[in-house]
Amino acid sequence: MSIPSATQDPALLRRLLRAKDRLDAASHEAWSVARLAQVSGVSMAHFARSFKQAFGIPPHRYLLTRRIERAMTLLRETDQSITDIAFATGWTSLGTFGRTFRDITGDSPGAIRARGKATAQELGRVPACVVSAARRPDLKTAVSEKRRQAMDGTNGPEQQEIP
């Protein structure tokens, strides 16, 4: 039985926000559940359960979301190589970066870069925060589940095309 986040202890929510802020600030670093739990001052199991309950997504998926968001921004706004972007956003393997990126966004990093350069002029009048929110990867479904759905040829309601 889950308790809605609105009824969670405010002190616990502050601790969880502290860990989430650390993830946001340093998503390129290696963040284990143990390290995040230590930042929050709670046990690993309690942290993982409470984080998902409070934010609707497990800590690892949240970290993947932040890394992919940052990589997408760098692909659109810089001329850095894809390899450099992969390592700068916290990936230790280019292959894992490319596979996860494609699983989450539906496109390769190169395709995102090409499309981003082509549409840069069209989005000039839209506030950056709105553009970022619209392009945020949807990680409510695990990457492995998305792979299984792709192999089965099914499209779950969670799969959406990223603009």
Q: What pLDDT, in 10s, does the model give residues 24-67?
A: 999 999 999 999 999 999 999 999 999 999 999 999 999 998 99
Q: How far is CA 152 from CA 143, 145, 146, 148, in A?
A: 14, 10, 10, 6
Tokens 């099914």 label which residue?
A: 154
Domain boundaries of the chain, sorted by first residue:
5-56, 61-152
Residues in CB range of 81: below 8 A, 6 or more apart: none
Q: What is the pLDDT of residues 107-160, one digit of tens each?
A: 999 999 888 776 666 656 667 677 667 666 665 555 666 666 777 776 554 444
Coil, helix or strand at residue 92: coil
Distance of alpha carbon 65 from alpha carbon 91, whole angstroms: 13
Q: What is the pLDDT of residues 36-46, one digit of tens each?
A: 999 999 999 99
Q: How many Å apart are CA 134 and CA 69, to the nearest integer?
A: 11
Amino acid found at 76: R
User: In this structure, are residues 22 and 36 in contact, taking their beta carbons and an 8 Å threshold?
Assistant: yes
Q: How much is the pLDDT for 145?
A: 67
Residue 41 structure tokens: 């001052």
Residue whose entry in the numeric block shows the structure tokens 């390129």: 28
Q: The pTM is what?
A: 0.68
The pLDDT tens digits for 75-98 are 988 899 999 999 999 999 999 999
* Fold entry, domain 61-152: Arc Repressor Mutant, subunit A (1.10.10)
